[in-house]
Structure 1
Amino acid sequence: MAWNPERNALLAKLWSDGSPTPSIAATLGTTKNAILGKAYRLGLPRRAPSSRPGSAPRPVCSVSPAPPEKPLHPVLGLRQGLCRWPIGDVIAPDFRFCLDGTADRAVYCAHHARIATQPSRSR
Structure 2
Amino acid sequence: MNWTDERVELLRKLWAEGLSASQIAAQLGGVSRNAVIGKVHRLKLSSRGRAAPAQTRQKKPKPAGTKAQRPAAAPRAMPQTVGATALKVDYEAEPAVRPSARPAENVVVPISRHLKLAELTDKTCKWPNGDPLTEEFHFCGNDSLETGPYCTYHARLAFQPASERRRQR
Q: TM-score scaled to structure 1, two decimals?
A: 0.39
Q: TM-score scaled to structure 2, two decimals?
A: 0.29
Structure with the bigger percentage of helix: 1
